[in-house]
Structure formats: structure tokens, C-alpha cells
Amino acid sequence: ILNVEQSPQSLHVQEGDSTNFTCSFPSSNFYALHWYRWETAKSPEALFVMTLNGDEKKKGRISATLNTKEGYSYLYIKGSQPEDSATYLCAQNSGNTPLVFGKGTRLSVIA
Amino acid sequence: DGGITQSPKYLFRKEGQNVTLSCEQNLNHDAMYWYRQDPGQGLRLIYYSQIVNDFQKGDIAEGYSVSREKKESFPLTVTSAQKNPTAFYLCASSVGVWETQYFGPGTRLLVL
């Protein structure tokens, strides 16, 4: 069973601060790394899918990087806004297997 | 609009009772999933199905059963054998099992 770890478990930042958090995963048999955003009272929504070592993806103020050799991905949020408050989930799979999710990082942005 | 629907939003179960949670999708996705979320836990996979009439156990399948008779539907039954059913249940679907998943709004199950 894959073990996907996320850190920190939660964090609070001031509006305008930039922040980042980590997803660690086994580097063997890697196929893809997914990031989701889960806002309160809503369904998780996909942010990025990354497959290649060194991949970088960006959507507005949010970006992600991938290192498959050492087994980690970073999610960055530049200039955090209150609407960025959510739980950010990462998930990994190995080929023809379902995603394995981490426990998430809960971000609270204080105005 | 295309999407995934789950019903009901809240469900109450009495001791010893089986209850069924509904999940329907009109995205034409082959793969469907059921997850359970408990406070402080991530999403844990209960069952998944890659194609109609086929499904596999996830990490916590004991006390649950599923069926996949139609591509659009993947109902989950919480049986009386599941001793701690109180949780938030999410259904998802994807084109293939390795692809991005799309989630429904969830069902919260409470035990009376």
C-alpha cells in the first residue's frame, strides 16, 4: 500500500503572505501525482496532475513542482487570499491503480 | 450539466440496519469510487469499479458492499456488519482509474 504523507497538517497565514506545503510519496513505481483543493461544504476539485520529474504547473497564484526521484511535491500559494482557505490534498498512483490520498494540509488565510 | 450526484445529503441508520447510499454520474466515466472520511483522516478507499459489472475492494471494504450494474450508477450499502459507520462518504468517478477524479457532494451518515 502506498503511503502518501502531507505536511504540515494545518497552517494559518496572514492575507498577502506566500506559503507552501509538502507532499511526500514513495518514489518507486511512480505514475502520477495529483493535487486537489477541498473547500468547506464543497467537493474536492482537481488542481494539477503531474507525471514527469521536474514538472511545474501553475494556475493563477498557485503552482506546484514535482521531484519523482526523491519522492516529493511542493504546492505554493503566492499572496494568499481568504478564498484560498481550504484543505489541499495530494494523491499518487502507480500505473493502473486507484489514487492514494494523503491526509491533507488545512490552510486558513486570515484577513 | 454533467456531474456526479449523491443522495441523500444526510442519512440516519438504526442499529442493525442496512442503508444504501446513491451515486450517479453522467460524465460517461468508466471508473467509479467510494471513499470514507473521518475527522483527522484522509480519504480512505472503500470500493472501486473500473468497468460495469466489476468492482474491487479498497483499503477498508469490510462491512460494505457495492454493485455496478449500470455505467452511471455505483450504489454503496453500509451493512450491519460495519460497526462504526458514522462518517462522511464521498463518491467519485474518472475516465480511467489512473486519471483525475471528479467528486460528488457527499453523504453524511449518522447512527441513531
DSSP code per residue over B30-86: SEEEEEEE-TT--EEEEEEEEETTEEEE-TT-TTEEE--SBTTB--EEE-TT-S---
> Which residues lie across from A86 on neighbouring strands?
A107
Instruction: Kindly state the helix (H) or strand (E) to which residue A16 belongs, with its residue range.
Output: none
A→B interface, C-beta within 8 Å:
1, 4, 31-32, 34, 42-46, 49, 89, 93, 95-104
Per-residue pLDDT of chain B (112 residues; tens, 9 = 90+): 569 999 999 999 888 899 999 999 999 999 999 999 998 888 999 999 999 999 999 999 999 999 999 999 999 999 988 889 999 999 999 999 888 999 999 999 998 8
Q: Which residues of B touch A93 (CB under 8 A)?
A: 97-98
Instruction: Pick from B33, B43, B91 the residue to mutate for testing the A interface (most A CBs within 10 Å).
Output: B43
* Pairwise CB contact (< 8 Å): A43 & B105: yes
Whole-number Å distance between alpha carbons of B3 and A100: 22
Whole-angstrom CA distances from A76 to A20, A30, A61, B84 are 4, 22, 8, 37
pLDDT, tens digit, 9 for 90 and up, residues A48-99: 999 999 999 999 999 999 999 999 999 999 999 999 999 999 999 887 789 9
* Pairwise CB contact (< 8 Å): A97 & B97: yes
Residue A82: phi, psi to the nearest 5? -55, -30
Q: Which residues of A16-30 are buried (b: 16+ CB within 10 A; e: fewer)?
A: eeebebebbbeeeeb
- Closest-CA distance, B49 to chain A, in angstroms, reads 10
